[in-house]
Amino acid sequence: MSLLDAATAIRPRAYAPYSRFQVGAAIRSTSGAIYQGVNVENVAYPEGTCAEAGAIAAMIAAGDTRIAEVCVIADSPAPVPPCGGCRQKIAEFADPTVKVTLCTTDGKSLTMTVAELLPGVFTAAHMAKV
Ligand code: THU
């Protein structure tokens, strides 16, 4: 299954009664396995989680730790980018060269690298004195 197919297939399971903005995400790990996630909102709005976070949680729970590729899809006028927090979450498990493909349900797409999405990323190296 392609990563786009995996993200597209999972998107309808998003729980997004407040924003009505359903997002699907799929990650291919370096082992080749695919992990899917959807956004899960909450009536206490800040408690909601993004699709990317769900896919990362599934990957970690399965015992994989490195991301090889990411795809995110939503019904958006322009390819949907991961939020700032999700960029940092992806960067935790992906090399800067890893490709993230941002998609719309009507076929638009844009592929960016993790480094392009999060220039100046905070890393463990910044804590070298700790
Ligand atoms: N959302 C994601 O799940 N991923 C993104 O990349 C952008 C935003 C979700 C969060 C919230 O449930 C809804 O989309 C509207 O912000």
- Interval between CA 21 and ligand 1 midpoint (Å): 7
The pLDDT of residue 77 is 97
Average pLDDT over residues 26-30: 98
Does ligand 1 have an atom closer than 6 angstroms to the CB of 16?
yes
All structural domains of the chain, each given as residue ranges with its CATH number in brackets, are: 3-126 (3.40.140.10)
The pLDDT of residue 7 is 98
Task: Determine contact, residues 34/1, Cβ cutoff 8 Å.
Answer: yes
Whether this model's pTM surpasses 0.85 = yes
The pLDDT of residue 53 is 98
- Interval between CA 30 and ligand 1 midpoint (Å): 25
116 given a catalytic annotation: no
Average pLDDT over residues 42-71: 98
Closest CA to 103 of 17, 26, 13: 26
Give yes or no for residue 130 having a pLDDT over 90. Answer: no
Tens digits of per-residue pLDDT, 90-121?
999 999 999 999 999 999 999 999 999 999 99
The pLDDT of residue 116 is 98
